Amino acid sequence: MKIKITAAILMSMLFTISCTDLDEELYDRVEDGNFGTTPKEIDALVGGAYSSLRGFADGISNNYPTCEYVFFLNEVVSDEATIPTRGTNWYDGGQYQDAQKHTWKSDNRMILSAWRYNYTGIAKINSIIYQIDKSSLSAEAKAPIYAELKALRAYYYYQLLDMFGNVPIVTDFEDTGLPSNSTRKQVYDFVEKELKDALPYLSSNVVYSKLTKNVAYSLLARLYLNSEVFIGTERWQDCLDMCQQISGYALTPDYFANFATENQKSGEIIFAIPYDSKAGTVGNYMSSMSCHYLHRFTLSATGDYPWSANGMCAQPGVYSAFSDTDKRKKAMVAGDQINLATGSVIIMDNGEPLTYTEEVTSLADAKENEGVRIGKYEMKAGESWERDHDFVLIRYAEILMMQAECYVRLGSPDLAKPFVQQVTERAGEELPAVIDLDYINQELLKEFAFEGRRRTDNIRFGTFFEPWWEKGATEKYRGIFPIPSTVLTTNKNLKQNPGYPEN
């Protein structure tokens, strides 16, 4: 009997240690309601809004951060870059070929990736605003935080306005109802209002990589510069007014200082996405997406440079558009590639020399060495996938060129001269006698080649719709991208952009 009692005690011990508590205990993360009360926590939240500018690895971009895909898309559909299929490589379902030929469909994965990049940034800011709402900070303390977040959100909406036009406007994190389209005009008005409302609270200082007054003015200037494209109303003077509000910047004497490893020191950059290898940020490795697999031996005798993918290159005609005296021509890598170990031209696996040519046989079947490569950002031995150079979004040269363009468009090309002159002088080029729109267009190509903004210029100048290399005439509706097919499937409240098939 004693035994039974002992056993019974043992068993009842089991019951006492047990329970039916099913709440999840968190150890290495926090539930959203429990964060955002101290200034340090607020900083860490707001910081997240900036970090999403780099994009994120999603299933589409295959572990590349999506901001690269936004860049890919805008570059490939413009007149400055292309991603030809090389043998088997870079076919990938024809998505790059379709983009080059302006025959993209709504299931093009670059388009979905761009959509997700922007809406992820927006949703993240909405969620941060929701956290701040719940925080115990005073209304005065919250106001500048809201302003910074909403202005940054307006940057994403500006991108959507530019790329997709009629997109849904979502500002409330808690509202999970399926939104419907806003018109392009509504999105335009929203971006304008959000930026203007934020202005009084934004910092007037020159603060690198933060959304300051200067950045907001630059975005408004961009908005007004493209106003005719966006809503059919010219606002050149408004653009000029915004540009004139911007202060504290000057062109760097060396053009490439803006693209150097330590480019955060440049006094020209108004807004950038910071990268730092020690901080583990992956991205802004366009040269690695562009150069040949063996290019690393041109940088290091031991090949101490990351793998390159042999993808994007300049469209034929771009390299020769630069005069040889133009310092900016070095943004491209052309000709024989010398192996630092041997001192002779690199021999590719197929036995041929690695010589980048301007000509590309065809979009569908380019040779490994064809196409001039993109080398705008500094490349140096010992770099890792995590680069240190920051991705430039807005620099002062753009403010100068916007003013020049507006004066030309307003019929005062002489007033444009001092602005353009600063830019060409640095490049080592002469100003022509007459500054006209064609000249401005060419100068924009040379100054901002491979900075991800050429598509917008092409559309504003109308060249987007004319034939170019491996592309026929483009129908007007392709001035904006279609809403991605999977977005339409999952949200029946959304309508496809005009001109594109419903699905």
CB of 283 to other proteins, least distance (A): 11
- Taking CB under 8 A as the rule, does residue 339 contact other proteins? no
Q: Closest CB to other proteins among 29 and 411?
A: 29
Pick the closest to residue 239 from 419, 406, 457, 436 (CA basis).
406
Where b means 16+ CB within 10 Å and e means fewer, 330-360 reads: ebbbbeebebeeeeebbebeeeeebebbbeb
Among 140, 433, 492, 501, binds other proteins (CB under 8 A): 492
Q: Does 253 bind other proteins (CB under 8 A)?
A: no
Q: Are 503 and 126 in contact (CB under 8 A)?
A: no
Per-residue tokens: 25: 């205990």
Pick out residues in 289-328 that bind other proteins (CB under 8 A). Answer: 293-294, 296, 300, 302-307
Decide if residue 103 touches other proteins (CB under 8 A).
no
Tell me which of 43, 254, 414, 438 binds other proteins, using CB under 8 A: 43
Q: Residue 314 in 3-state DSSP? A: strand
Do the Cβ atoms of 78 and 455 come closer than 8 Å?
yes
Q: Is 274 in the site for other proteins (CB under 8 A)?
A: yes
> Taking CB under 8 A as the rule, does residue 146 contact other proteins?
no
Which residue stretch of 18-26, 228-236, 315-323, 412-420 sits at the interface with other proteins (rule: CB under 8 A)?
Answer: 18-26
Please pick, from the candidates 211, 348, 360, 399, the single residue that binds other proteins as defined by CB under 8 A.
348
Q: Tokens 């922007």 identify what position?
A: 118
Size of interface with other proteins, in residues (CB under 8 A): 102
208 versus 465: smaller Cβ distance to other proteins:
208
Helix (H/G/I), strand (E/B), else coil: 341: coil
Question: What is the nearest approach in angstroms of other proteins to the Cβ of residue 193?
Answer: 19
Identify the residue among 141, 204, 244, 279 touching other proteins (CB under 8 A).
279
Instruction: Identify the residue among 82, 98, 109, 161 touching other proteins (CB under 8 A).
Output: 109
232 near other proteins, rule: CB under 8 A: no
∠ CA 337-338-343, nearest 5°, is 165
- Residue 128 and residue 149: Cα distance in Å, rounded? 8
Region 374-433 residues binding other proteins, contact defined as CB under 8 A: 384, 386
Alpha-helix residue ranges (DSSP H) falling in 53-178 = 66-76, 95-100, 109-134, 139-163
Cα–Cα distance, 76 to 98 (Å, whole number): 10
Q: Give 22 or 139: the residue with its C-beta nearer to other proteins.
A: 22
**Residue type present at position 224:** Y
Q: How far is the CB of 476 from other proteins (least distance, A)?
A: 24
Q: Is 470 in the site for other proteins (CB under 8 A)?
A: no
Asked if 314 contacts 371 with a C-beta cutoff of 8 angstroms, the reply is yes
Give the binding range for other proteins (CB under 8 A) out of 134-142, 208-216, 321-329, 456-464: 208-216
Scored b (16 or more CB within 10 A) or e, 462-473 reads: ebbeeebebbee
Q: Which candidate, 230, 272, 268, places its Cα nearest to that of 249?
A: 268
- Tell me: does residue 119 bind other proteins (CB under 8 A): yes
Q: Out of 101, 103, 120, 135, point to the residue binding other proteins (CB under 8 A).
A: 120
Nearest to 331 by CA among 340, 341, 342, 322: 322
Using the rule CB under 8 A, is 136 a contact of other proteins? no
First to last CA, the chain: 78
Single residue of 44, 141, 301, 434 touching other proteins by CB under 8 A? 44
Residue appearing with tokens 């401005």: 440
**CB nearer other proteins, residue 59 or residue 411:** 59
Q: State how far the Cα of 57 lies from the Cα of 62, in Å rounded to an integer.
A: 7
- Compare residues 215 and 427 and give the one whose CB is closer to other proteins: 215
Among 143, 199, 207, 340, binds other proteins (CB under 8 A): 207
Interface region with other proteins, contact rule CB under 8 A, candidates 72-80, 167-175, 317-325, 444-452 = 167-175
Q: Is 87 in the site for other proteins (CB under 8 A)?
A: yes
**Exactly one of 491, 495, 498, 499 binds other proteins (CB under 8 A); which one?**
491
- Considering beta carbons, is residue 280 or 418 the nearer one to other proteins? 280
| Residue 277 found at the interface with other proteins (CB under 8 A) | yes
Integer Rg of the chain from CA: 26
Q: Is 60 in the site for other proteins (CB under 8 A)?
A: yes
Whole-angstrom CA distances from 379 to 287, 329, 385 are 8, 16, 11
- Residue 500 C-beta: closest distance to other proteins, Å: 16
Site for other proteins contains 144 (CB under 8 A): no
